[in-house]
Each structure stands twice: as structure tokens, then as C-alpha cells.
């Protein structure tokens, strides 16, 4: 009679195979996780770059609007004062134009050089005073900051003061979501 001896060699080989498969699955899962994490970060960076490009294009469009422009990279301050009143009286239309179409929440022009005496918003009463344009600094033409986050993009423009026929250095700032 032959007595058979059972060995655990086959069981150990099966256990080794299962262990190798589990380790491979863990490594593949980690690889996929890190790949998609890197991919998501790359998409986020691309989104930021596209937003910056969109903002730069919007800056060019805003400064060339006939409501503000007096030439290439030139903004007429008397047009800014009158446009502010027109935009405020037709806010529904301009909310659709600036907000819905372009995603703009703020359009502001600031006088940089020479510096004004005070840091305040320009209005029609400042225009009639003798020390204009040095009695105010900013022209906020459109302001819809109540909803959501935004970031500011700015560029340098020439501010034209037609009553004194002078050009001064200014900056246009738009808030974009």
C-alpha cells in the first residue's frame, strides 16, 4: 500500500499568484489615481490660462468700446462720466451685455499719473470744479460685485481730458468671474 504525502507546495504557489495579482492591482490603482490627479491639475491650470486670455481680450474690447474710446488705447473721461449715468439708467441691458455675455462684474478706470489730490470717485460735480482732474481719481463705470468671486485684470491706458486737451496715464481694471 502506498501512502501519499500531501505537500503545501501547490497552495503556496497559488497564494503567491494571488499576492502578485493583489499587488499589481494596488500599483495600477495608485498609478491611475496619480495620473488623474495630475490630469485634473493640468486642466485647472489650463482653465486659469484661458481665463487670463479671456480677460486680456475683454480689456482690449472694453477700451475700444465707442462709449469710452477716443482712439487706440485712449479713453475719453467725459465719455466715462456720461457712460456711467447711461449704464446706471439702463442697468438691465448692460447687465446682460457685460455680465451674461462677457462675465464682467466691474469696470473701473483710475488716473495713475500725475496723481490726484484725493482718492475718490469722479462724478459730474467734480468735472465743473477748477482743479479737475486732480480732485478725483477713479471712474467706476460698471459695478455688479454682489454675486460671486472674481479676479481683477488691468492694463495701462491713456486718459484724455478734452476740456484741457491733456492726456494722462491711467489704468483700466475689469473684474471677471
Per-residue pLDDT tens digits for 117-140: 788 888 887 777 777 778 888 998
Average pLDDT, integer, range 77-100: 83
Q: What is the pTM of this model?
A: 0.70
Indicate whether 5 pLDDT > 70: no
Query: Do the Cβ atoms of 138 and 127 come closer than 8 Å?
Result: no
Q: Where are the alpha helices (DSSP H) in the chain?
A: 9-63, 77-89, 91-94, 124-127
HSE-CB of 114 using CA atoms within 13 angstroms: 8
Q: In 3D, which of 169, 119, 172, 162 has the Cα closest to residue 142?
A: 172
Q: What is the pLDDT of residue 26?
A: 96
Q: What is the pLDDT of residue 4?
A: 67
The predicted-structure confidence for 163-172, as pLDDT tens digits, reads as follows 888 899 999 9
The predicted-structure confidence for 92-109, as pLDDT tens digits, reads as follows 888 887 777 777 888 899
The predicted-structure confidence for 16-31, as pLDDT tens digits, reads as follows 899 999 999 999 999 9
Greater model confidence, 35 or 66: 35
The predicted-structure confidence for 28-61, as pLDDT tens digits, reads as follows 999 999 999 999 888 888 887 887 787 788 888 8
Amino acid at each position: 500500500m502506498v501512502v501519499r504525502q500531501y505537500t503545501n507546495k501547490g497552495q503556496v504557489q497559488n497564494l503567491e499568484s494571488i499576492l502578485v495579482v493583489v499587488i499589481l492591482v494596488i500599483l495600477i490603482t495608485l498609478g491611475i489615481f496619480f495620473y488623474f490627479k495630475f490630469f485634473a491639475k493640468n486642466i485647472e491650470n489650463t482653465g486659469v490660462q484661458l481665463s487670463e486670455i479671456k480677460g486680456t481680450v475683454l480689456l482690449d474690447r472694453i477700451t475700444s468700446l465707442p462709449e469710452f474710446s477716443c482712439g487706440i488705447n485712449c479713453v475719453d473721461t467725459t465719455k466715462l462720466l456720461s457712460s456711467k449715468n447711461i449704464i446706471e439708467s439702463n442697468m438691465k441691458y448692460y447687465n446682460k451685455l457685460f455680465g451674461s455675455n462677457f462675465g464682467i462684474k466691474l469696470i473701473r478706470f483710475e488716473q495713475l499719473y500725475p496723481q490726484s489730490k484725493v482718492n475718490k470717485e469722479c462724478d459730474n460735480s467734480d468735472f465743473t470744479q477748477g482743479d479737475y482732474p486732480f480732485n478725483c481719481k477713479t471712474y467706476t463705470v460698471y459695478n455688479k460685485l454682489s454675486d460671486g468671486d472674481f479676479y481683477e485684470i488691468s492694463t495701462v491706458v491713456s486718459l484724455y481730458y478734452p476740456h484741457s486737451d491733456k492726456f494722462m496715464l491711467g489704468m483700466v481694471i475689469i473684474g471677471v468671474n
